[in-house]
Structure 1
Amino acid sequence: MDNLLESVASLFPDLEEITDTLQRKIELLKSRKDDVDEKLQNVACRSGIKRKREVEEWLDNVENIKKKFETVEQQVQQSSGFRHVFTRQALAEQLERMTKEVTELLDQSHFPSGVFLEVDESIDQLLLTSQPNGQAFQQNLNDIWTSLMDVSVASIAIYGMGGVGKTTLAMRAHDRLLKEPTFSGHVYWVTVSQEFSIYKLQTDIAQALKLKFSCGSDEKKRAAQLFQAFKKKERFVLILDDVWKQIDTCKIGIPSKMEGSKLVITSRSEEVCNRMRCQKIIKVNTLSEQEALNLFWKTFDSDERSSEVEGICKKMVKGCGGLPLALITLAGSMRGVNDIHEWRDASERLKESCMKQEDMEIEVLPILLYSYQRLRDKRLQRCFLYCSLYPEDHLISRDVLIGNFISEELMERRLSWQAEVDQGHAILNQLVRACLLESESFGKLKMHDLIREMAIGITKDNPRYMVKAGLHLKELPEEQKWTEDLDKVSLMCNSIEKISPGTSPKCPTLSTLILRRNPLRLIPDCFFTHMCGLRTLDLSETKIESLPNSISDLEKLKALFLKSCDELESVPSLEKLKELRYLELSSTRIEKVPQGMESLTNLKRLSLLCDRLEMIPTGTLHRLAHLQQLELPYHLDVPIEEVETLKQLEVLNCGLNSVRDLNRLINSRRIDKPLYFYNIRVGSREMLKERDRGGPCKVLFFGENGLMESSLDTDKNMLPQDIEYLRFFRSGLSGCLLDEFPTLSSARDLKECEIMVEDKLECIMRLEEEQQSSGVPFQSLERLNLTQLQNLIGLFKWEAVAAPLPPGTFSCLGRLSIRRCDKIKKVFAPCLVRNFHNLQFLYVEDCAQMEEIIEDDKNERADITLPRLKALFLFNLPQVKSICKGKMICNSIEYIWLDGIKNIKEFPLYLPLLDDGQLSHPTRLRTILIHREEKEWWESLEWPHHNAKNVLQHLVKF
């Protein structure tokens, strides 16, 4: 069986590669959508002509595919490892279908003349521009493409002032190159930025190439390894974005003028382009006045404006100097403004801002500064400036960012954690709408480098930040740069391994110090001596082995983050840190709770997911009455009587001793605040490794003997009504699942149920003539996995005569897996198949007594329809004599994998007839995989049509 699975796995495409390719196509599609929007708005502004319904539908389809991709991409990230081999195959298939859909949408985006509008008039005559940034943009893009296709041109430079659209041009060329067969997908994008070093650039290029250095930190050896990696590619394009000074490509390891290779750079300096001897240099000019107005109104996104407003707008737009970034940011800051007085005031303020900042090097910065000032709300300004602490071009997780806003107390205080999270999302949405942050996929955000530059410029004064993030620094900045008026310091994502003995910066007002993601091992005890005002200390993802004792004296500290410090074994006493609100110690090596933790009575979040932690001292949790989030290791049983006292609790990840404790918890939460998210294990410390689900969710896991005590109770086992994931493993589950947990009848959010190694379970639900339950069991269930259930006789058990399933039961089930269940003889009864109309994946393996997949209907030879079934896997079922007696109609079937079902004499797959009367295989069927040792069995199968085997033969793989 393992050999077969390995063979199957080798057939699977590279899921991550498919995802990356599709993401690039979707980005191209998004750009194309912007083009269409621009064209429509330009025409609407001039003529008021309405867009056609076909175009409206196309725009809607683009939005839908973007949202669908975000969901699937999260599933891809959660499906690593061979355990998910079939899940990954299904995802690959889904991504391939989406790729086809995106390709079709891209093809449709080249609308013929007249298709946009309700009149048959030439688009070329109606439109002012053919690209979002004007005709010059398209001309520049054409020049770049011509140079890329010219074998005599090895290096191309794109230059222009900040915010003019250099990166946008390069990105368009990048996306187009990915579809160009000349370079076989060997197209690499690396952002260089102002503070670059040879070492950092080598690291970033290696990451783009998916290359791991084997030569340590020696720059010459790294350059040689990079050179060889590029040489193997033969034809490639390397795009270096945002180059500030000359780069010696030989020192980096970039081949110079290698036949078939291309180097593309973007820079603000023509001198840099010349010094790097670029053969083709293209200047990106600012927009014309009309193009600038069009871009402003497109971003402003409102048709309601008076002639007076338009006059004021023209003056404001003129002040932007035709810079797209300035126009977009300014328009974003003015969204929703309708009052003429506010327009006049805004125009005056913008004029003053530009006058005050006329000595600034980059003309766009005064406009950006004005947009920041227009935020007015101090919360928005504080949160915006905080984003500048991350490295340039860093993708920032919304959830992480909001957590930081909360711990840094940048927002208004709310009564609950959930209310604060909601406030955080609202603030981020406002910053995105104001065009000061950019939304990326997967809930990530990014700050344009110029906007970050403006933010860092603001924080050179008040508040005062020192930001040296993502620069691959090997040492701390010089001590003289640690000025006494510093408020926040960010040194995240560097290469700092140690802090020299005796280092003790005098920063009495420093409130935030971020050293996360450094290979830092040691901090001298004197380092924090003069940081008495420190409120947030982030040492997460460092190699720190022990913390200096001076941390114990940081009495104003409110947040201490030590997550994933996998060398950290102990923490000094926290007794004096009575102001501490957030303590994060997950994934460290600590074995004991830090001394003095019971004194942290203001603590709101405690995260102690540590595999080595031995115990939680009695009475510790009882003292932490303000806890909103509690995460404790699953191998420890939390004292339920202490958890019950935590009235403010909203997030709980922990282990409970028994089902009785779970019932107590559920009952207590009915009175207190409900849990918004939870991941709870009931039973012994032995449990399967919980997979990362890519975000907060509601999970309940019954581990070994977790239900044994419930047999002694008179009360029924309880489940939270909002449970999403339910798992059992050697828990003592017996009889009927629905009898054990009657509340499953009304669990409307349950998405996945997994039951493994339960010897006493007989069925999932019992069917009677008159159903007792008023609810609809398993109405939202999407995945059901049944593994090693020695006493399972079937999904259902009839008490007397066959009874129908309640309408809606299992109606969302997409994936059903049954493995090593020796007593089960059938999967479905024919009368119940209709409930499984959404089933897409059916996997049955090692079921010794399985006789039929779909039971034989004694009354008639009925055809069975599974309209959405995509994959059928049947492995090692020695007693199976039929899949079903009638025809199995599965027009959506794509994969069939069969092994160890030699007693089946007839394969029931329905084969449709074409218009000419010829037999055909189902149109989506790609592969029928048969074990090589069973070729003879396959050849002996009987078919209802004499030509059926020939029709399918080209799809069979042995």
Structure 2
Amino acid sequence: MEILTETVKVIVEKIVGYTIGAVGSQLDYLISYKKNVDNLSNKVGDLEDARDSVQRKVQAATFNVEEIEPNVQRWQTRVQGITAEVQEFVEKEGQAKLKCFNLKARYQIGKKAHKMGLAVKELKDKADTFHTVGHRVPIEGDTTISTKGYEDFESRKSIFDGVMKALKDENIPAIGVCGMGGLGKTMLVGKIATQAKVDTLFERIVTVVVSQTPNLKQIQKDVAKQLQISEFKDEDADFQKAHLLRKRLKKEKILLIIDDIWAELDLEDLGISFGDGQKGIKLLLTSRFRDVLGIYMDAKEIFYVGVLSHNESVYLFSKIVGDLVENLNLQSTMIEVVKECDGLPIAITTVANALKNQKNPNVWKDALRQLKRANPTQIKGMHEKVYSSIKFSYKFLSKEAQSLFLFCSSFEEDEVIEIDLLWRYLVGLDFFEDVYKMEDVRNRVHTLVESLKVSCLLLEGYRSGTFKMHDVIRDVAIYIADKEKEMLTIRSSEDSEKMSNMRKLKESIGIALFQAKFSELPKRLECPRLNFIILGDKENSLRIPNHFFEGAKELKVLVLMRVSLPLPSSLSFLQNLQTLALLNCESEDIALIGELKNLKALVLVDSKIKQLPMGIRQLTQLQLLDLRRCSELEAIPSNVLSNLKKLEEIHMNRSFNQWQVDGEITERSNARVSELDHLSQLTTLCIHIPNPKILPKALLFGKLVRYEILIGPKWYWNWDRDRNVEFEISRILKIDLDRRFQEDDGIKILLKTCEYLNLAPGKGIKNILYEVNKEGFPRLKHLYIQNSVEIQYIIDSIGFQRVAFPVLELLSLVNMVNLEKICHNQLAMGSFHNLRKLEMRKCDNLIFVFSSSLLECFSQLQEIDIEDCKVMSTIVAVERKHGLQVNDDIISDTIDFAQLRSLNLKTLPNLLGFCSNVDSQPLFNKKIVITFTRTHFKAEHEFDFHLYGNYLLVIHYCKVKSLIS
């Protein structure tokens, strides 16, 4: 009985506890109803801050061509929904019921506010887990081999057809293409890969380049990267990497192109094999040497690429020089010149490009004489005609272009060279006449690189702002440099003959060694004539010998890559050094740099340094300070920057931004932004200023020729722009702007001169034109506006008569919840006249995009992307005397989007049609792509596509009642 009593007692106690707890919660809803509502408002404020932070990341990822993660998109949708729900609750229900004394109403308000607060907090906490918001979408089955300039010659057609047939034969696992340097093997293979992609012979195409000194680990890594093996880690053991790669190759039908093989490769060790279970991997190999393909690489079919026929050679040459030969009556001379090129495409193109603008017949005759008399060389795999043709083109260059051409041969074979690193190196070399400013050096190098591309001595890189040098041309350039300029290019530290040739070292003016074993370097260089050294650490372990630089006191340019230990003390001997570049280095102790008093350019890109030494302030001749992507840099001592009076350029992209604020007490005394006011020669500035209250004076901004300036705490650097060509758009501003400091003279100057503007408008700004800039943004090319709750119009033209946005090419409007129109009232002629692309997302108050009377201003539009605009019913609204019309009455207005090529409409639940009404004349003159995604047309509406002219229609996840096609 006692046991039963105790059991009942426990149950009763629990029931009473639960009851009291439940009653307590219910009473809390009643008693603290107002507190719950206030807490809800505060939590929504926190959520909105988190939403804005995530949106900045999303926009940065979008600009970086990334696909946004689905969970992030779902989160944004939920945030949008609950924010609107809370706003409606507080404004319509809460405020009304707070004024009454109805206990039931108070209870309901308190309970609902509490539950909504929990949901809001859960969403806010979820934002903290979004370390990344997007990912790069791989280009399936693509090939990085350029086919630009490929000609479908008959002499190549049989090879092309033969390789394509072999690719389809399951019994041929490896196919070889061989031939001497300069015949176009790589381009031919690129064309084959393109056709294989079109014919869907493979699920994926992977391309790697081997070159003369293969880096097997890098080849393996490149293959893994293209196959998207995310588990492939540098720290893994070799057998683990090979195992992963071997398993991955069994998953798909893959074409692996291995280009430019010089010797046997042990593919099995890398994980590339042809064992049982392979789904269909094939190898397509190229080499200059047939025995390498047949004996060492076991290619079952080998195709030999020969020279062009006489007729093909004449055609190719004539295509490049155009009508010049016929106009000057030089046919016979041209035939002789072509004959000297001996059917080699690279020889034909280089010579033809050298002669295509030469109108003096004597120049052509002299060219023929030079080609006949050029001395061949014994470069491995080189044909004497290739050497003579490239040497001939080299002689046609200016002295500056010749020097730059030879310097480019110092870079690694097949390297994609960034122009904006190249010109930094050249600051310290006397290549150019009458060039003293950084801006002038940059412009001259860009100009010379373009001229070398035109001469076919340099090739386009894979991305903007880069270039490559064909390995055959590089071989000739190295030979010329070795003979004429004493530039010594050492391909690897195993090249013992050159390393041990002390006479050669003493005579050299330049050394390039990218994969150095520091343990095998001489203890001391004896190179009194040496001007530049490019040195990369292969082992990433040993230090450069301490006395290494003592015998190279004339050194002007020093480039060190992947150096991880303290700099050698002999660095202080280099008092003539003008450019020092430490790339991807981990050395924290860089105090020695302060002793290089004549330094003009200091480049510390991608280096892991935490602070700049105080000694940097002694570099009073410094013109360029490049700290890009030094993400760990936290300290620049105060009064260092202000002492560098000759500074012309400062680059701090993705780097230091912890500027000292006047009156603020911190652990260290850091640099102040105001120190920049002392730099009277500064013309280029890349900087992040989190606190808008500490801006430099307007005089500084007025002198800038180029800038990328971020103002506000939450902006991100654009990764793609940072990694690719520098300053394609030369004036970039990202800014949090509100009434508190928009009248600052410096801000006004930046807004007036910028070409790229990313704007987050704050309180008190209701339109962009006039309120933000009264001159119509005369130079602006790209405009991004985001996260505004007050802006009603981009332009309110009342009282504004100037042309607005005359050169704007892109307009992006995101999360503009109060935007009613782009343009309010009429625009001056010429406004928006250059606009090519319009993007609009989450503009919840926008019913239409254009009014018909303003369409002429948007006649150059090529792309329109509209997404997630809740109330939008039409793209174009027709104006009437008594306002705007959005019904379907027939009218006679002519609406012309002659340049439009892409119309992308996504999640527009109230869309009625493109135009409120149209006549029978087509809207689009040329074929465009119309894409609808999650756009639910009204049931009573028929979308009259036949009125839109020539189109390609794509529909995703749409509910369509009826379509007329």
TM-score by length of 2: 0.70
How do 1:586-601 residues align onto structure 2 when only pairs under 5 Å count?
586-601=605-620
Partner of 2:665: none
The structure 1 residue matched to 2:623, chosen from 577, 585, 604, is 604
2:285: which partner in 1?
Answer: 265
Q: Shift of residue 581 of structure 1? A: 0.9
Aligned residue for 1:168? Answer: 187
Q: Contact 1:551–1:572 (CA<8 Å) still a contact in 2?
A: no
Give, as a single letter, the amino acid of the residue that structure 2 aligns with 1:742: N
Task: Decide which of 446, 454, 479 is 2:476's aligned counterpart.
Answer: 454
Distance 2:784 2:379 in 1: 64
Structure 2 counterpart of 1:894, from 921, 931, 938: 931
Q: 2: distance between equivalents of 1:463 and 1:913?
A: 68
Name the CA distance, whole Å, in 2 between partners of 1:282 and 1:715.
Answer: 65
After superposition, residues 405-554 of structure 1 pair within 5 angstroms as 405-414=426-435, 416-440=437-461, 442-443=463-464, 444-468=466-490, 480=500, 483-492=505-514, 494=515, 499=519, 503-515=523-535, 520=540, 523-524=543-544, 525-540=546-561, 542=562, 544=564, 546-554=566-574
Query: Contact conserved, 2:167 with 2:282, CA < 8 A, in 1?
Result: yes
Mapped pair 1:840 → 2:876: no
163, 175, 195: which one pairs with 2:213? 195
C-alpha deviations, 1:702-743, integer Å up to 9, x for none? 34x8752456x7999444433123234475554544343233
In the alignment, is the contact (CA less than 8 A) between 1:385 and 1:455 conserved in 2? yes
1:61-76 aligned at under 5 Å gives the runs: none
Give the 3 Å change call, closer, same or farther, for CA 755–497 of structure 1 in structure 2: farther
User: Contact 2:354–2:455 (CA<8 Å) still a contact in 1?
Assistant: yes
**Over residues 44-79 of structure 1, what are the superposed CA-to-partner deviations in whole Å (9 max), with x where a residue is unaligned?**
xxxxxxxxxxxxxxxxxxxxxxxxxxxxxx998832
Quote how far apart the aligned CAs of 1:582 are: 0.8
Q: Does the aligned pair in 2 maintain the 1:717–1:740 contact within 8 Å? A: no
Contact 1:861 1:885 survives alignment (8 Å): no
Q: Which of the residues 871, 877, 882 maps onto 2:904?
A: 871
1:271–1:487 CA distance, 2 compared to 1 (3 A): same
Structure 2 CA distance, aligned partners of 1:784 and 1:535? 46
Q: Is the 8 A contact 1:464 1:486 kept in 2?
A: yes
| Amino acid of the structure 1 residue aligned with 2:955 | R
Work out whether 1:636 is the aligned partner of 2:669.
no
Shift of 1:383: 0.7
Structure 1 residues 325 and 764 mapped into 2: Cα distance closer, same or farther (>3 Å)?
same
1:431 CA displacement: 1.6
Residues 265 and 896 (structure 1), Cα distance of their counterparts in 2 relative to 1, 3 Å cut: closer
1:497 positional shift? 8.2
1:560 corresponds in structure 2 to 580
The question of whether the paired residues in 2 share the 8 Å contact of 1:499 and 1:522 is answered with: yes
What is the CA–CA distance in structure 2 between the aligned matches of 1:628 and 1:871, rounded to whole Å?
44
User: What letter corresponds to residue 843 of structure 1 in structure 2?
Assistant: E
**Helix, strand or coil: the match of 1:840?**
strand
The match for 1:678 is 707
Q: Which string of whole-angstrom CA distances, capped at 9 and with x for unpartnered residues, describes residues 841-874 of structure 1? A: 2334699xx9999999976753488966833445
SS at match of 1:226: helix
How far, CA to CA, are the matches of 1:274 and 1:365 in structure 2? 25
In 1, Cα distance between equivalents of 2:455 and 2:438: 26
CA contact (8 A) 2:761 2:785 kept: no
Quick one: distance in 2 between partners of 1:841 and 1:320? Answer: 52
Report SS of the residue matched to 1:206. helix
Change (3 A) 1:832 1:755: farther
Question: Cα offset for 1:912?
Answer: 1.6
- Corresponding position: 1:178 with 2:197: yes
SS of structure 2 residue aligned to 1:523: coil
Task: Write the mapping of 1:342-357 to structure 2, written as runs, cut at 5 A.
Answer: 342-354=363-375
Corresponding letter in the other structure for 1:895: F
CA contact (8 A) 1:413 1:420 kept: no
Pick from 339, 344, 349 the counterpart of residue 360 of structure 2.
339
State yes or no: 1:911 paired with 2:943: yes
CA separation in 2, counterparts of 1:176 and 1:553? Answer: 58
Separation (CA, whole Å) in 1 of partners of 2:613 and 2:705: 28
Helix, strand or coil at the partner of 2:776: helix
**What corresponds to 2:740 in structure 1?**
708
Q: For 2:846 and 2:187, locate their aligned partners in 1 and report how far apart those are by CA, in whole Å.
A: 61
Q: How many residues align?
A: 791
Structure 1 position 926 matched with structure 2 position 958 = no
Partner amino acid, structure 2, of 1:349: Q
Structure 1 partner of 2:757: 726
* C-alpha spacing 1:605/1:731, structure 2 compared with 1 (3 Å): farther
Q: 1:662: how far off?
A: 6.3
1:692-771 to structure 2, matched below 5 A, reads: 692-693=720-721, 694=724, 695-696=726-727, 697=729, 698-703=731-736, 708-709=740-741, 717-729=748-760, 734-756=765-787, 761-764=790-793, 767=796, 771=799
Return 5+ residue gaps in structure 2 as ranges: 1-59, 74-132, 661-670, 889-894
Distance in 1, Cα, partners of 2:64 & 2:540: 30
Q: Against the structure 1 CA distance between its residues 731 and 170, is the aligned structure 2 distance closer, same or farther, given a 3 Å change threshold?
A: same
- Relative to structure 1, the CA distance from residue 660 to residue 568 in structure 2 (aligned partners, 3 Å threshold; closer, same or farther) is same
Whole-angstrom CA distance in 2 between matches of 1:707 and 1:570 = 45
- The Cα of 1:439 is off from its aligned counterpart by 2.7
Distance 1:832 1:280, change over 3 A: same
Q: Distance in 1 between matches of 2:308 and 2:541?
A: 51
1:862 aligns with 2:886: yes
The answer (yes or no) to whether the contact 1:658–1:707 under 8 Å persists in 2 is no
Identity of aligned residues (%): 21
**Equivalents in 2 of 1:874, 1:133: separation in Å?**
46
Alignment of 1:335-414 (within 5 A): 335-354=356-375, 362-375=383-396, 377-414=398-435
Cα distance, 1:384 vs. partner?
0.7
CA distance in 1, matches of 2:741, 2:796: 27
Q: What displacement does 1:555 show?
A: 1.4
Paired with 1:205 and 1:92, the residues of 2 have a C-alpha distance of 17
Q: Residue 598 of structure 2 aligns to a residue in which SS?
A: coil
1:452 Cα shift? 1.0
For 2:600 and 2:613, locate their aligned partners in 1 and report how far apart those are by CA, in whole Å. Answer: 15
CA change 1:359–1:514 in 2 (3 A) is closer
CA distance in structure 2 between the aligned counterparts of 1:387 and 1:852, rounded to whole angstroms: 56
**Partner AA of 1:552 in structure 2:** S
Which residue of structure 2 lines up, in the alignment, with residue 783 of structure 1? Answer: 811
Check whether the contact 1:840–1:871 (CA below 8 A) recurs between aligned residues: yes
Change in 2 beyond 3 A, CA 1:248/1:406: same
Q: Look up the match of 1:297.
A: 318
Q: Structure 1 residues 476, 83: closer, same or farther in 2, change over 3 A?
A: farther
Matched position secondary structure for 2:757 = strand
Q: Which structure 1 residue ranges, 5 or more long, are not aligned?
A: 1-73, 100-105, 110-129, 900-904, 930-937, 939-947
Stretch of structure 1 that moved more, 380-389 or 421-430: 421-430
Name the CA distance, whole Å, in 2 between partners of 1:306 and 1:254. Answer: 56
Secondary structure at 1:515's aligned position in 2?
strand
Q: State whether structure 2 residue 68 is matched by structure 1 residue 82.
A: yes
Q: 1:226 to 1:507 in 2, by over 3 A?
A: farther
Aligned to 1:741, the other structure's residue is in SS state: coil
| 1:586-612 CA distance string (max 9 Å, x none) | 554444332322222221211235455
Contact 1:548/1:572 (CA < 8 Å) preserved in 2?
Answer: no
Where does 1:106-117 land on structure 2 (aligned, <5 Å)?
none
| Structure number, greater radius of gyration | 2
**What is the alpha-carbon distance in structure 2 between the residues aligned to residue 810 and residue 83 of structure 1?**
34
Name the CA shift for 1:643/1:729 in 2 (closer, same or farther; >3 Å).
same
Match of 2:272 among 254, 276, 279: 254
Which deviations, in whole Å up to 9, do the C-alpha atoms of 1:478-513 show, x marking residues without a partner? 963673333323333x4x686579944444433322
Matched residue, 1:7 = none
> 1-side partners of 2:694 and 2:682: how far apart?
16
Residue 624 (str. 1) matches residue 655 (str. 2): no
2:125 alignment partner in structure 1: none
Asked if 2 retains the 8 angstrom alpha-carbon contact of 1:475 and 1:498, the reply is no
Q: Distance in 2 between matches of 1:248 and 1:682?
A: 53
Partner Cα distance (1:607, 1:382) in 2: 24
